[in-house]
Structure formats: structure tokens, C-alpha cells
Structure 1
Amino acid sequence: MTFEQFLTILRARKWIVISVFFSVIITTLIVTLLLPKQYTAEATLALDVKAADPVTGQQIAGYMAPSYMATQVEMISSQNTALNVVDTLGLAQLPEAQAQFEEATNGKGDIRNWFAETLLKKINSKT
């Protein structure tokens, strides 16, 4: 098959090609608009903490203590940290967020705590 024959075939089938192209674009657009928005973030932390041994006074790496990483993970997934995130982002003041809170809880409870709990349910922190 020569290139000229290939172009002739495409010209003969141009309406099929155009209709398939636009149907794929329209279907993709509709699915994108109908699906709920979901955002995912991932962070990797490398902690290098140096501390002095209280008995000998020698420098030791703080992360060598078995409970150090567990404490850091606990701090990241704590209620206080989640409340700070809600306050920093100003989620409680957004009209859409207030409507979402009203719909989910019928206005019962504290909006800050509800957002913090919702945030903590979706956090996956591990050592």
C-alpha cells in the first residue's frame, strides 16, 4: 500500500474518523464533569535529628530511639494538627464547606472538629 492509497482511504472514511474522535472527546468531558473531584498528596519526610545522650553527653541520632518515629507519626495524625490545618486553610469560613457541613451533620457539632475528623479519616501515615 502506498502513502497515496492510505490518504485516499482516510478521505473516504473521514466522517467515521471525525465522528469517533468527537464522540471520544464528548464522552471524556462528560465523565470528567460527573465524577467527584479527588485530590491526593503524598509527602516523604527525612528527619535527621541530633541530640545529646543525657548520661554520657555524646551526640546521638534522635531518630535511633525506637519511640521517636512513632511519636512523629502520632503528631502528624493528631487532632491538634488537623485543627491547625483547618484553621490555616480557613475551611470553616468557606460557604461551600459550611454547606457541606450542614448537609452531613444537620448543623450539629463544631464545624472545625468535623473537618478535622474528616481530614484524619483520609490520612494514611506510617513509619
Structure 2
Amino acid sequence: MRKLTPRDKSDIDEFSKVSSASLVEIDRYLSGEWEWYELWDYNFELVVPPSTHCSCKFEGLRASGRRKGYPRSIIDLERLGFKFSLIRGGGSWFEDAYYQCACGQKWKEVFVEAMEYNGNHAQPICDEEFSADT
């Protein structure tokens, strides 16, 4: 039987904040019946992204389901129709880049080098994080 890790708990909290829903069927993950990405995909299928404002943050979180190749880059989000402007950095693959979605949400994109994934990984950040990084 698995136990929820601090990363699991953090991801569950973020899911609740972004989707305004609670994660369900956690027992299937804890029992080993499901892998994390199966739990994640199942829950995102139950939730409708907010139609009153941009869903870039929702789609970015959906992509973080911990499967091979899961990190989503700004280019991947642009392919879904989101519009971004580079606001700082990004001079090379290895330099962090900061983007802003047309809705105003700021994103940080970093180069990730890991056993299962090499490439850019974008995540939404708040204005305070953006200011602290500059």
C-alpha cells in the first residue's frame, strides 16, 4: 500500500485550487491499482475547465501527470491555442525564460534534464515569484 508523499499532497492541493474540485479515487492509487498519471487523467476528465477566464493554468496542470514526457512547454501550450509573449530570458535552451499569457498569467520555463525527459518545462508562477526571480 502506497502513502501520499509531500509531492502528492502538493499536487492534490494545486489540483483543488486550479480546478475548484476535489481529487477522487485516491484509494485506487494508494492500493497500487492505478499509477499517478491514471488518477490524474481520470480526475481531469471529470472537471470542466473554467469558461469564464483563460484555462492556460488548468491545461498546464493537466499535463503534469507524471508520465514519460509529461512536462509541457510554452510551445505545447501555444499549440493548444494559448498566446504567450516572452518577457525575459530565453537566450538559450539552458537559460530560464519568463512568459506571459494573453490573460496575464506569468509562466517560467526551465530546461529539464532527467532520465525520462529532456526539454523545456513550463509552469505558472505568481507575480511575487516573478519579482523574486529578477
TM-score interval, smaller chain = under 0.3
Task: Give the number of the structure with larger relative contact order, counting CA–CA contacts within 8 Å between residues 6 or more apart.
Answer: 1
In terms of fraction of residues, the more helix-rich structure is 1
Q: Rg bigger for which structure?
A: 1
TM-score, normalized by length of structure 1? 0.26
